[in-house]
Structures are given as structure tokens and as C-alpha cells.
Structure 1
Amino acid sequence: MLFRREVLEGIAGGRIDRVFRVWAEPRVRAGSTQRTWAGIIVIDSVTPVTPEEITEQDALRSGFNDRAALLTALSKSTKEGGYHRVMLHLGGPDPASEVADNADLSDQELADLKATLDAMDTRSRRAPWTREILRLIEEHPGLRAQDLAERLNRDKLPFKADVRRLKALGLTQSLETGYRLSPRGKALMTHLRSSTE
């Protein structure tokens, strides 16, 4: 489930505790979590609702000025299905995000990260790719995933899957559009460059 930046900021600030989606079938379930740059979002409940059941309080607590604005936004959805109210809250910081923000890496941590990248490249059925994607993101922060993938003559979805693998190591961070290297990723890239000089 995707969230706009202002919605994530509202959830983090406690102003937003619900969102509305148009789904044929719910895409999330109660008790599930989602990692975002703002932290871990916890899904409390997912309830189908009719337009008549959507209240002014729903609108205000989902980031809209009033019920009419929320209903207008929902009516413009190109997706087919019914309206769903998703109650949620911020469960806490994303542990991976805390790791990503740490640029103070020991020589052993740097060596371990390099070995992990080497192993990922070795297991790949393609040519080595980890450093190529890290360099590309470093050179083009905020560039759309589609545009980044095209620069490597790759399809977007497999490219995004590889970026998620690097993010799981704390090396990249998602932006509203595109990606950037995390402080941890920048430290690793500096190390990799110095070790090849």
C-alpha cells in the first residue's frame, strides 16, 4: 500500500489514523505491518464502507478538509471495487532505517558488507549488479525507478526488487520519487572506491 509523503507525515504526527482505498479485495489485513521512511505502519483494521458511512471525522482523520473532499478523491480512483476504511498507527521506527542512518562502520562491518555484495553478485544469473545499481542511485538520487531501470536496459519490476535487496542491507532509502544512498550506503561506496585506488 502506497502512502503520499503528507499522509506519512500526518501518521507520524498523530493527525492521521485512517486512510481510504478503492479495492475489489482488501490488499492488507489487520495486524499486518508496512515499512516506510516514516517508520513501521501497523494496520489495525480493514472495513468495507459505503459512501454514506464515511463521516466528517473520517475525512479529517485521513488528511482531508472535509467529507466532500474525501468522497471526491475516492470517486476519481481508476480502480474498480468498493471503498475500504483502513485504520492504522505508527508502530515505531523501522529498525532497518536506524541501521541505514549509521555511517560509522568498522573495518569489519565494511568487509562484511563487501562480502555480502560479492555473494549476491556471484549468485546472480546476470552479470554482477550490486555496485552498478548503487553507483547509479548515488549519481541520480530521486530519479524514477523506471528511468533508472532504462539506463541499465532492465525492466522496472526486477530492478525494483534488486533495489529492495540493497535497502534490506541498509544501503539505500526510498524517496517519494526514486531512491538515494543511505548514510551507510555512502560510507560503503567511499570504502569501495578507496579500496580500488
Structure 2
Amino acid sequence: MLIRRITLDAIAAGTVTAVFRRWDRPRVRPGGTQRTPVGVLEFTAVEPVDPTALTERDAHAAGFADLPALLAAQSGHGQLFRIRLRVAGPDPRVELRSRARLNADERAELTRRLDRLDRASRTGPWTATVLDLIAGNPGTRAPDLAARLGRETLPFKRDVRKLKELGLTESLQVGYRLSPRGEAYLRG
């Protein structure tokens, strides 16, 4: 679920405790989580609501000044859902990618996982190439990096997210860079 940064910051501060979405069916479930720039969000409730039953309290819980502002933002098609949420903790990838030293077991596990990603790829091995490209071009736009490899942007970005899951890269405002863990891995 996409949540604007200003709303994420308000959730982290505790001033927003709910968001509203129009969907044909719920896209998140109670107990589910989502990693975000402010930490891991937990969805504590997902409930269909009748827009005519919303209150000023609902508007304030969602970060709106008043009920008319909330209602104006919820126009559209589909069932309206109230999603209650909270920050459940930090994103575990943040701590993982900050590790600047790898022991032999960690290095072997990373190598095993990268090899598995390479074997599963329809286009052949890519992990070392992408890590080297990001290392040599930090802060470069994803479309520019993808073009250097003769790849389409969206599949390239999906691959970089796989590296991010392993704590090897981090997203910047524009582009990517290797994390300390990624740098340690490449140093060998």
C-alpha cells in the first residue's frame, strides 16, 4: 500500500493512526506488516466503512483538518476501508545493511543467496554486475543504470530491490548506493 511520506512521518509521530482507501477488496489484512522509510507498519484493523458514518474523529485520526477534507480525499469507486495502523518497530534491513563487517558464515550465506538469484534469472547471472554498477555509480538514476546494461527500468529496479532485501544496497533520493554491508561483501 502506498503511503505518502508526510503521512508516514505523522504515523511515526503518533498523530495519524488510520488511513482510508477505496478498494474492490482489502489489499492488506489485520496483523500484516509493511516496511516503510519510518519503520515497519502493522495493520491492526481493516474494516469496511460507510462514508456517511465517518466522523470528525475519523478525519483527525487520518491527519485531516476536518471531515469535509477527509471526504473530499475519498471520492472514487470501490468500497471505502478504514485501515488502523501503527509503527511496529524499525525496518530490520536498516540494521542489516549497516553491518560493515562480514564473518565467513555471513559471506558464504550471501554468496549462496546471490548465486540462487543468478540461477533463477531468465537472463542469466546479474547480481555481481549490478552490485559493481551501483558501486561505481552511486546516486545515478535507475533508468540510466538500466540503460547501461541494456535493460528495461522496471525489471532492473526489481533486481535492485532483491539486493536491498539482502542488505547490500540502499535507495537514495535519486538512485542507489552500496550499503556498508554491500561494500564489505564486494571487498571480499
What's the TM-score bracket when you normalise by the shorter of the two chains? Answer: 0.7 to 0.9
Q: Is the 8 A contact 1:46 1:87 kept in 2?
A: yes
* Corresponding residue for residue 170 of structure 2: 173
Q: Which residue of structure 2 aligns with residue 40 of structure 1?
A: 40
Is this contact kept in 2: 1:142–1:175, CA < 8 A?
no
Q: What residue ranges of structure 2 are gaps of 5+ in the alignment?
A: none
2:134–2:178 CA contact under 8 A, matched in 1:
yes
Contact 2:99 2:181 survives alignment (8 Å): yes
The offset of 1:58, in angstroms, is 2.1
> How do residues 108-147 of structure 1 correspond to structure 2 at under 5 angstroms?
109-110=106-107, 112-114=109-111, 116-138=113-135, 139-141=137-139, 143=141, 145=142
CA RMSD of aligned residues (A): 2.8
Residue 183 (structure 1) aligns with: 180
Q: CA deviation at 1:177?
A: 6.4
On the 8 A contact 2:117/2:127 being kept in 1, the answer is yes
Q: Does the CA-based 8 Å contact 2:139-2:174 persist in structure 1?
A: no
**Of 153, 156, 159, the match for 1:159:** 156
Taking a change above 3 Å as real, the CA distance of residues 23 and 136 of structure 1, as seen in their structure-2 partners, is farther
- TM-score, normalization by structure 2: 0.80
Show the counterpart of 1:97: 94
The superposition leaves residues 75-120 of structure 1 with CA deviations (integer Å, 9 ceiling, x where unpaired) of 3x6xx31221100111112223211122233466445534543453
Greater mean deviation of Cα atoms: 1-10 or 96-105 = 96-105
Change in Cα spacing, 1:23 to 1:177, as seen in structure 2 (3 Å) is farther
Residue range with higher mean Cα deviation, 9-18 or 98-107: 98-107
Cα gap change, 1:173 to 1:59, in 2 (>3 Å): farther
Aligned AA for 1:58?
Answer: D
1-side partners of 2:60 and 2:147: how far apart?
40
Label 1:147 to 1:65 Cα distance change in 2 as closer, same or farther (>3 A): farther
Contact 1:4–1:176 under 8 Å retained in 2:
no
Gap regions ≥5 residues in structure 1: 193-197
Aligned to 1:59: 59
